[in-house]
Amino acid sequence: MARLPHLSSRLQGFGTTIFAEMSALAVQTGALNLGQGFPDSDGPVEVSEAAVEAIRGGQNQYPPGPGIASLREAVAEHQQRFWGMTLDPETEVLITAGATEALAAALLALCETGDEVIAFDPTYDSYAAGVAMAGARLRGVLLRPPAATASDAGSRITSEPFSFDPDELRRAFNPKTRLILVNTPHNPTGKVFTEAELDLIAELCVEHDVLAVTDEVYEHLVFDGRRHRLLAQRPGMAERTITVSSGGKTFSFTGWKVGWAVGPAPLVAAVRTAKQFLTYVNGAPFQPAIAAGLRLGDDYFERFRADLEAKRDLLTRQLAKAGFAVMVPEGTYFITTDIRPLGFDDGIEFCLQLPERAGVVAVPSAVFYQDQRDGLPLVRFCFAKADDFLLDAGQRLIDALTR
């Protein structure tokens, strides 16, 4: 990437995000957008109506810095109800401008210049930028794709998860390590970290006195009977973990950007100190609406999960018919595919050509890797769309790639 004039050295190399680039390409070509991760319909009417009521009721000025009390209380209730985590909403819950701000504020607050931050590679694109802005260094631990799709000789569909080498993780911890970023369910791979994997991470954090920040925005999108587990609940982790999530993915209102960071009061206070000089506050009428969403009955959360699991299975079948090697995700709303069975090995070039070739937009997974070669043949598709939309996109891919 060309060097940008006036941009600080820490942010050189961070240009327009791939999501903006591919979404613009979708608009230019009229292609169906399976690239950027947002649903194509609004969430529960109870939530949207709560926002309208708040607007009409005059809740449109600055909310309190930590977030309105009803939302902080709803977040604490949610953590207790679903995950058995007990929190004080006054001191252990902070409302943020989406999970992205919570993560950035945590990195800015907790890292010194020269610190190292461990993350599993590939990473969501804001992680590297946040680490750079904090003056720290990102140290990746590679998540490897299932062996069945490592070459074009593999099966077209595999349910085996991405995995990491425990010894590589152990070697990543060193005297410069300040914290580890853990994203589960993981974007872009769809991996859900197991109890044993979280135990290992916890053991290493305790051994090396390292903090943890977890990104759990897809906490309610875990499939096939699996369970979402919290790193903060492993032995020795409650006092050293900031847990981050948001309402955008769970309630399909991604543009509202209402997130939260929870954890022990001293860590939350540190994150709040940085956060107040970023957005300060946000989303006044949307905060009570997300509080209403968090208090919906269990039936909503189960229907939401089951609906997305069915969409995952629908698009998986279509992609396999089109000739992709498909890695069935354990969570999130993204499917990773290998394009080598189709005769391609460069996902970036493939995705740039796909809108004209098939009328579909996807995202090259390589952009999420520190070394793009590690993910070059991989392409990510989003399945949080209407069934007819997925069927249309899938048929376009089948027609264009199997001729």
pLDDT value for 127: 96
Task: Output the CA torsion sign for 133, 134, 137, 142.
Answer: negative
Q: Would you say 309 and 223 are in contact if contact means Cβ atoms under 8 Å apart?
A: yes
Any idea which residue has 């591919």 for tokens?
22
- CA atoms of 378 and 336, how far apart (whole Å): 7
Dig out the tokens for 108 from the structure. Answer: 């800015």
HSE, side-chain direction, 13 A CA sphere, residue 238: 7
pLDDT value for 2: 64
DSSP element (H, E) containing 96: strand 93-96
| pTM score, whole prediction | 0.94
Is residue 369 classed as helix, strand or coil in its secondary structure? coil
Q: In the chain, what percentage of residues exceed pLDDT 90?
A: 88
Mean pLDDT for 352-373 is 95
Is residue 127 classed as helix, strand or coil in its secondary structure? helix
Q: Closest Cα to residue 287, out of 42, 119, 66? A: 66
More confident residue, 383 or 403: 383
Structure letter (DSSP) for residue 106: H
What lies within 8 Å, CB to CB, of 49 at 6+ separation is none
Is residue 241 classed as helix, strand or coil in its secondary structure? strand
Structure letter (DSSP) for residue 2: P
Q: Would you say 331 and 363 are in contact if contact means Cβ atoms under 8 Å apart?
A: no
Mean pLDDT for 43-70 is 97
Q: How confident is the model at residue 5 (pLDDT cuts 50, 70, 90)?
A: confident
Q: Closest Cα to residue 334, out of 385, 400, 375? A: 385
Cα–Cα distances in angstroms (integers) from residue 160 to residues 147, 157, 182, 327, 341, in the given order: 8, 9, 20, 7, 18
Do β-strands 363-364 and 378-382 pair in parallel, antiparallel, or remain unpaired?
A: antiparallel
Task: Output the CA torsion sign for 282, 119, 25, 327.
Answer: negative
Is residue 85 classed as helix, strand or coil in its secondary structure? coil
pLDDT tens across 326-359, in order? Answer: 999 999 999 999 999 999 999 999 999 999 999 9
Cα–Cα distances in angstroms (integers) from residue 352 to residues 27, 91, 338, 347, in the given order: 13, 47, 16, 9
Q: Which residues pair with 140 in a beta bridge?
A: 119
- Backbone angles phi and psi of 226, in degrees to 5: -70, 165
Domains of the chain: 9-43+299-401 (3.90.1150.10), 46-147+162-298 (3.40.640.10)
pLDDT tens across 181-210, in order? Answer: 999 999 999 999 999 999 999 999 999 999
Helix axes 18-29, 347-358, angle to 10 degrees: 20
pLDDT value for 154: 44
Inform me whether the pLDDT recorded for 225 exceeds 90.
Answer: yes
Structure letter (DSSP) for residue 329: -
pLDDT tens across 228-262, in order? Answer: 999 999 999 999 999 999 999 999 999 999 999 99
Dig out the tokens for 202 from the structure. Answer: 């916890």
Q: Which residues pair with 58 in a beta bridge?
A: none
Q: Is 282 exposed, middle or buried (0-12, 13-18, 19+ CB in 10 A)?
A: buried
pLDDT value for 336: 98
- CA atoms of 162 and 145, how far apart (whole Å): 5
Q: How confident is the model at residue 29 (pLDDT cuts 50, 70, 90)?
A: confident
Any idea which residue has 């032995």 for tokens?
235
Identify whether 44 is preceded by a cis peptide bond (ω within 30 of 0): no
pLDDT tens across 116-139, in order? Answer: 999 999 999 899 999 999 999 999
